[in-house]
Amino acid sequence: MNDFISALFNPAFPFLRNALWAGILASLLFGVIGAIVTVKRIAGLAGAISHAVLGGIGMALYLSATKRIPGMPPIAGAL
């Protein structure tokens, strides 16, 4: 555990620090959104949106792997 904590403050590993910040911010945001979805009873809509995004990510990865659109990032498919 001490190695992980020391790696967070190591300037050679900025991606680790960025991933941790992204996880913390996403967990806060998803906690609030999850509460709103539960209260308003729109879980079906939330499921539909998440599955549509997953399909877009898969399509972007496929198009990038088959070199039809080289270098297409998965986030482009999600949007």
Of 36, 4, 38, 32, residue with least CA distance to 20? 4
Torsion of CA 3, 6, 8, 14, to 10 degrees: -100
C-alpha span between 37 and 19 (Å, rounded): 26
Question: Is the whole model's pTM more than 0.75, yes or no?
Answer: no
C-alpha span between 46 and 62 (Å, rounded): 25
pLDDT digits (tens, 9 = 90+) for 30-46: 899 888 888 888 878 87
Q: Tell me the Ramachandran region of residue 52: left when phi exceeds 0, alpha when psi lies from -120 to 50, beta otherwise.
A: alpha
Amino acid at 72: M
Q: Which residue would you say has higher pLDDT here, 46 or 25?
A: 25
pLDDT digits (tens, 9 = 90+) for 8-18: 788 888 888 88
Chain mean position to CA 68: 24
